[in-house]
Amino acid sequence: MSIQSFVHRFEPAGAPDRPPLLLLHGTGGDETDLMPLGRMLAPGAALLSPRGPVLENGMPRFFRRLAEGVFDEADLRRRAADLAAFVGAARETYGLPAPLAVGFSNGANIAAAMLLLHPEVLAGALLIRAMVPLAEPPAADLAGRPVLILSGSLDPIVPAQNAARLAAQLGAAGAAVTHEVLPAGHGLTQADLARAQAWLAGVQPR
Protein backbone atom coordinates (compact mmCIF):
# COMPACT_ATOMS: atom_id res chain seq x y z
CA MET A 1 0.00 0.00 0.00
CA SER A 2 1.46 3.36 -1.05
CA ILE A 3 0.65 6.96 -0.26
CA GLN A 4 -0.98 7.17 -3.73
CA SER A 5 -3.51 4.45 -2.87
CA PHE A 6 -5.98 7.03 -1.55
CA VAL A 7 -6.71 10.43 -3.02
CA HIS A 8 -5.95 12.66 -0.05
CA ARG A 9 -4.99 16.05 1.29
CA PHE A 10 -2.17 16.64 3.76
CA GLU A 11 -1.50 19.77 5.77
CA PRO A 12 1.76 19.81 7.81
CA ALA A 13 1.75 20.68 11.48
CA GLY A 14 2.16 24.26 12.60
CA ALA A 15 2.18 23.17 16.25
CA PRO A 16 4.21 19.95 16.49
CA ASP A 17 3.06 19.21 20.05
CA ARG A 18 -0.47 18.45 18.81
CA PRO A 19 -1.25 14.91 17.61
CA PRO A 20 -2.05 14.71 13.87
CA LEU A 21 -5.67 14.26 12.86
CA LEU A 22 -6.92 11.65 10.39
CA LEU A 23 -10.07 13.23 8.95
CA LEU A 24 -12.68 10.76 7.67
CA HIS A 25 -15.67 12.26 5.89
CA GLY A 26 -19.28 11.09 5.74
CA THR A 27 -21.15 9.73 2.72
CA GLY A 28 -20.90 12.14 -0.19
CA GLY A 29 -17.93 14.04 1.24
CA ASP A 30 -14.38 14.04 -0.06
CA GLU A 31 -10.82 14.80 1.01
CA THR A 32 -11.56 18.55 1.33
CA ASP A 33 -14.72 18.14 3.40
CA LEU A 34 -13.37 18.04 6.95
CA MET A 35 -10.20 20.11 6.51
CA PRO A 36 -11.88 23.29 7.87
CA LEU A 37 -13.27 21.26 10.79
CA GLY A 38 -9.79 19.89 11.54
CA ARG A 39 -8.33 23.41 11.61
CA MET A 40 -11.08 24.56 13.99
CA LEU A 41 -10.79 21.54 16.29
CA ALA A 42 -7.01 21.48 16.64
CA PRO A 43 -5.29 24.61 15.29
CA GLY A 44 -1.76 23.79 14.15
CA ALA A 45 -2.21 20.01 14.07
CA ALA A 46 -1.10 18.08 10.99
CA LEU A 47 -4.15 17.04 8.96
CA LEU A 48 -4.42 13.92 6.81
CA SER A 49 -7.69 13.60 4.92
CA PRO A 50 -8.28 10.69 2.50
CA ARG A 51 -11.23 10.28 0.15
CA GLY A 52 -13.40 7.19 0.57
CA PRO A 53 -12.71 4.86 -2.37
CA VAL A 54 -16.23 3.36 -2.65
CA LEU A 55 -18.95 5.06 -4.69
CA GLU A 56 -22.63 4.76 -3.77
CA ASN A 57 -24.78 6.48 -6.39
CA GLY A 58 -21.76 8.65 -7.20
CA MET A 59 -21.12 9.56 -3.55
CA PRO A 60 -17.77 8.61 -1.96
CA ARG A 61 -17.83 6.33 1.08
CA PHE A 62 -15.21 4.32 2.95
CA PHE A 63 -17.00 0.95 2.60
CA ARG A 64 -20.09 -0.60 1.04
CA ARG A 65 -23.43 -0.98 2.75
CA LEU A 66 -26.34 -3.22 1.85
CA ALA A 67 -28.96 -0.75 3.12
CA GLU A 68 -29.02 2.22 5.48
CA GLY A 69 -27.56 0.95 8.74
CA VAL A 70 -26.74 -2.47 7.24
CA PHE A 71 -23.04 -2.83 6.47
CA ASP A 72 -21.24 -5.17 4.07
CA GLU A 73 -18.93 -6.48 6.80
CA ALA A 74 -16.59 -8.35 4.45
CA ASP A 75 -16.04 -5.14 2.48
CA LEU A 76 -15.73 -3.12 5.69
CA ARG A 77 -12.96 -5.40 6.98
CA ARG A 78 -11.08 -5.19 3.68
CA ARG A 79 -11.44 -1.40 3.44
CA ALA A 80 -10.38 -0.93 7.07
CA ALA A 81 -7.20 -2.93 6.34
CA ASP A 82 -6.54 -0.79 3.24
CA LEU A 83 -7.05 2.43 5.19
CA ALA A 84 -4.80 1.20 8.01
CA ALA A 85 -2.07 0.43 5.47
CA PHE A 86 -2.51 3.88 3.91
CA VAL A 87 -2.12 5.51 7.33
CA GLY A 88 1.11 3.55 7.83
CA ALA A 89 2.45 4.71 4.46
CA ALA A 90 1.42 8.32 5.18
CA ARG A 91 3.13 8.27 8.57
CA GLU A 92 6.34 7.15 6.90
CA THR A 93 6.09 9.65 4.03
CA TYR A 94 5.11 12.66 6.16
CA GLY A 95 6.96 11.75 9.36
CA LEU A 96 3.90 11.53 11.60
CA PRO A 97 3.18 9.86 14.92
CA ALA A 98 0.00 7.79 15.20
CA PRO A 99 -2.96 10.05 14.39
CA LEU A 100 -6.23 10.65 16.17
CA ALA A 101 -9.13 9.83 13.89
CA VAL A 102 -11.88 12.42 13.51
CA GLY A 103 -14.74 10.67 11.74
CA PHE A 104 -18.24 11.78 10.84
CA SER A 105 -21.01 9.25 10.09
CA ASN A 106 -19.54 6.77 7.54
CA GLY A 107 -16.05 8.05 8.43
CA ALA A 108 -16.75 7.52 12.13
CA ASN A 109 -17.88 3.97 11.42
CA ILE A 110 -14.69 3.00 9.59
CA ALA A 111 -12.65 4.68 12.33
CA ALA A 112 -14.46 2.54 14.91
CA ALA A 113 -13.76 -0.55 12.78
CA MET A 114 -10.06 0.40 12.59
CA LEU A 115 -9.89 0.74 16.38
CA LEU A 116 -11.23 -2.80 16.76
CA LEU A 117 -9.47 -4.48 13.82
CA HIS A 118 -6.17 -2.54 13.75
CA PRO A 119 -5.80 -1.03 17.24
CA GLU A 120 -2.13 -0.18 16.70
CA VAL A 121 -2.92 2.33 13.92
CA LEU A 122 -4.74 5.09 15.80
CA ALA A 123 -3.81 7.04 18.94
CA GLY A 124 -7.50 7.55 19.67
CA ALA A 125 -10.65 8.76 17.95
CA LEU A 126 -13.40 11.34 17.89
CA LEU A 127 -16.46 9.53 16.52
CA ILE A 128 -19.37 11.76 15.49
CA ARG A 129 -22.69 9.92 14.88
CA ALA A 130 -21.00 6.50 14.88
CA MET A 131 -22.69 3.10 14.84
CA VAL A 132 -21.49 -0.39 15.79
CA PRO A 133 -19.46 -1.40 12.71
CA LEU A 134 -19.08 -5.14 13.33
CA ALA A 135 -21.75 -7.56 14.54
CA GLU A 136 -19.10 -9.59 16.38
CA PRO A 137 -16.13 -7.39 17.21
CA PRO A 138 -12.72 -9.02 17.59
CA ALA A 139 -10.80 -8.88 20.84
CA ALA A 140 -8.70 -5.70 20.69
CA ASP A 141 -6.28 -4.02 23.07
CA LEU A 142 -7.07 -0.31 23.18
CA ALA A 143 -5.52 0.22 26.61
CA GLY A 144 -5.90 3.87 27.54
CA ARG A 145 -6.65 5.18 24.05
CA PRO A 146 -8.93 8.21 24.32
CA VAL A 147 -12.24 7.97 22.45
CA LEU A 148 -15.05 10.53 22.38
CA ILE A 149 -18.38 9.45 20.85
CA LEU A 150 -20.82 12.26 20.11
CA SER A 151 -24.36 11.06 19.39
CA GLY A 152 -27.52 13.00 18.57
CA SER A 153 -30.66 12.42 20.63
CA LEU A 154 -32.76 13.22 17.53
CA ASP A 155 -30.60 11.23 15.08
CA PRO A 156 -32.94 9.35 12.69
CA ILE A 157 -30.10 7.10 11.44
CA VAL A 158 -28.25 5.92 14.56
CA PRO A 159 -30.43 4.33 17.29
CA ALA A 160 -29.42 5.43 20.79
CA GLN A 161 -28.87 1.85 21.97
CA ASN A 162 -26.58 1.17 19.01
CA ALA A 163 -24.26 4.06 19.88
CA ALA A 164 -24.30 2.99 23.53
CA ARG A 165 -23.32 -0.53 22.48
CA LEU A 166 -20.36 0.84 20.51
CA ALA A 167 -19.21 2.81 23.56
CA ALA A 168 -19.45 -0.37 25.65
CA GLN A 169 -17.49 -2.42 23.09
CA LEU A 170 -14.64 0.10 22.92
CA GLY A 171 -14.61 0.47 26.70
CA ALA A 172 -14.42 -3.31 27.11
CA ALA A 173 -11.35 -3.26 24.84
CA GLY A 174 -9.67 -0.84 27.27
CA ALA A 175 -10.26 2.51 25.58
CA ALA A 176 -10.89 5.57 27.76
CA VAL A 177 -14.35 6.24 26.33
CA THR A 178 -16.49 9.32 26.82
CA HIS A 179 -19.96 9.03 25.24
CA GLU A 180 -22.13 12.14 25.09
CA VAL A 181 -25.60 12.49 23.63
CA LEU A 182 -26.28 15.99 22.36
CA PRO A 183 -29.64 17.57 21.44
CA ALA A 184 -29.02 17.14 17.72
CA GLY A 185 -29.95 15.11 14.65
CA HIS A 186 -27.45 13.39 12.37
CA GLY A 187 -25.75 16.61 11.23
CA LEU A 188 -22.88 18.47 12.88
CA THR A 189 -23.81 21.25 15.32
CA GLN A 190 -22.02 23.98 17.25
CA ALA A 191 -22.40 21.82 20.35
CA ASP A 192 -20.38 19.07 18.62
CA LEU A 193 -17.64 21.55 17.77
CA ALA A 194 -17.44 22.99 21.28
CA ARG A 195 -17.40 19.57 22.95
CA ALA A 196 -14.86 18.16 20.50
CA GLN A 197 -12.53 21.18 20.88
CA ALA A 198 -12.54 20.87 24.66
CA TRP A 199 -11.90 17.13 24.51
CA LEU A 200 -9.07 17.39 21.96
CA ALA A 201 -7.39 20.13 23.99
CA GLY A 202 -6.99 17.63 26.81
CA VAL A 203 -5.66 14.74 24.70
CA GLN A 204 -1.93 14.22 25.17
CA PRO A 205 0.23 12.91 22.28
CA ARG A 206 1.12 9.25 22.68
Residues 72-86 have a mean pLDDT of: 97
Q: What is the CATH number of the domain that holds 185?
A: 3.40.50.1820
Q: What is the pLDDT of residue 2?
A: 78
- Domain contains 120: yes
**105, 151, 179, 192: which is the annotated catalytic residue?**
105
Q: What are residue 122's phi and psi, to 5 degrees?
A: -110, 145
- Between CA 142 and CA 145 the distance in angstroms is 6
Judge whether 49 counts as a catalytic residue. Answer: no
> pLDDT value at position 53?
97
Domain extent for 63: 3-201
pLDDT tens per residue, range 101-127:
999 999 999 999 999 999 999 999 999
Closest CA to 78 of 59, 64, 99, 96: 64
17 assigned to active site = no
- The answer to whether residue 61 is domain-embedded is yes
Task: Kindly report the backbone phi and psi dihedral angles of residue 42, in degrees, each rounded to the nearest multiple of 5, phi listed first.
Answer: -145, 75
Number of domains present in the structure of the chain: 1
Q: Within a domain: residue 11?
A: yes
Would you say residue 176 lies in a domain?
Answer: yes
- Kindly indicate the confidence band of residue 17, based on its pLDDT and cuts at 50, 70 and 90: confident
Residue 206 belongs to a domain: no
For β-strands 100-104 and 47-50, DSSP reports them as: unpaired
User: What confidence category does residue 205 fall into, taking pLDDT thresholds of 50, 70 and 90?
Assistant: low
Q: Is 25 a catalytic residue?
A: no
The reply to whether 172 falls in a domain is: yes
- Active-site choice (72, 82, 118, 186): 186
Question: Residue 16's pLDDT is what?
Answer: 77
* Global confidence as pTM: 0.96
Predicted confidence (pLDDT) per residue in 155-198, tens digit? 999 999 999 999 999 999 999 999 999 999 999 999 999 999 99
